[in-house]
Amino acid sequence: MNAPASGTDLEKLVFFDERAAVLYVSKQHTFHASVCSYVRLLRAKVAKFEVVDVSMDDIQRKLDKKDDESNRDLGLSEMQAIAVNLFRRATERKASDIHIRVQNKGTTKIFIRVNNDLELLEQHPGAMGQLLCSSIYTSMAGISAATFEVLKRQDGRISERDNLPAGLDGIRIATTPQVDGMLMVLRLLYQDETVATDLAALGYPENQRELIAFMKSRPEGINIIAGPTGSGKSTTLQRVLLSIQQESRGAKHIITVEDPPEYPMPGIVQTPVANVSSSDERSEAFQNAIKSTMRLDPDVIMIGEVRDPPSAKLAFEAAMTGHQVWTTVHANNVFAIFDRLIGLGIPPNLMADPSIVKGLICQRLVKVICPHCRVPIQDVWDRYSDAQQRRVMGLGSCEYVHVAGPGCKHCEQTGVIGRTVVPEIIVPDQKLMMHIRRGDRDRAYAYWKETGGKTMLDVAKDKIVAGLIDPFQAELVVGLLDAGLELDPALLEQA
Domain of residue 322, CATH code? 3.40.50.300
Check: CB of residue 222 under 8 Å from CB of residue 119. Answer: no
Same domain, 346 and 382: no
Residue 40 has a pLDDT of: 82
Partnered with residue 452 across adjacent β-strands are none
Overall domain count for the chain = 4
Q: What are phi and psi of 434, to 5 degrees?
A: -65, -45
Residue 67 has a pLDDT of: 65
Same domain, 258 and 349: yes
Q: Are strands 50-54 and 154-158 parallel, antiparallel or unpaired?
A: unpaired
CATH number of the CATH domain containing 163 = 3.30.450.90
Residue 112 located in a structural domain: yes
Check: CB of residue 472 under 8 Å from CB of residue 388. Answer: yes
Residue 200 has a pLDDT of: 93
Residue 116 located in a structural domain: yes
CA angle 24/29/34 to nearest 5° reads 90
Residue 445 has a pLDDT of: 96
Residue 216 has a pLDDT of: 97
Same domain, 145 and 91: yes
Same domain, 186 and 237: no
Check: CB of residue 335 under 8 Å from CB of residue 326. Answer: no
Residue at a domain's end among 190, 215, 240: 190
Same domain, 214 and 258: yes
pLDDT block averages, 10 residues each, the chain of length 495:
49 80 87 84 78 88 70 63 94 95 89 94 88 90 76 87 90 92 94 73 96 97 95 94 94 91 88 72 85 94 93 94 96 96 96 97 98 97 96 91 96 94 98 96 95 97 97 96 63 53
Burial of 145 (0-12, 13-18, 19+ CB in 10 A): middle
Domain that holds residue 314: 200-363+425-453
Length of the chain: 495
Residue 476 located in a structural domain: yes
Residue 405 located in a structural domain: yes
Residue 214 located in a structural domain: yes
Half-sphere exposure of 350 (CA within 13 A, CB side): 17
Same domain, 304 and 352: yes
Strand, coil or helix: 184 = strand
Residue at a domain's end among 158, 190, 222: 190
Same domain, 227 and 215: yes
Residue 61 located in a structural domain: no
Residue 495 has a pLDDT of: 56
Same domain, 448 and 462: no
Residue 7 has a pLDDT of: 45
Same domain, 447 and 461: no
* Residue in 474, 479, 123 with CA at minimum distance from that of residue 333: 479
CA angle 329/437/300 to nearest 5° reads 40
Residue 38 located in a structural domain: yes
Same domain, 348 and 223: yes
* Residue in 98, 62, 66 with CA at minimum distance from that of residue 83: 98
Same domain, 359 and 480: no
CA angle 5/6/9 to nearest 5° reads 95
Residue 21 has a pLDDT of: 80
Residue 2 located in a structural domain: no
Q: Are strands 181-190 and 22-26 parallel, antiparallel or unpaired?
A: unpaired
Same domain, 256 and 288: yes
Residue 295 has a pLDDT of: 92
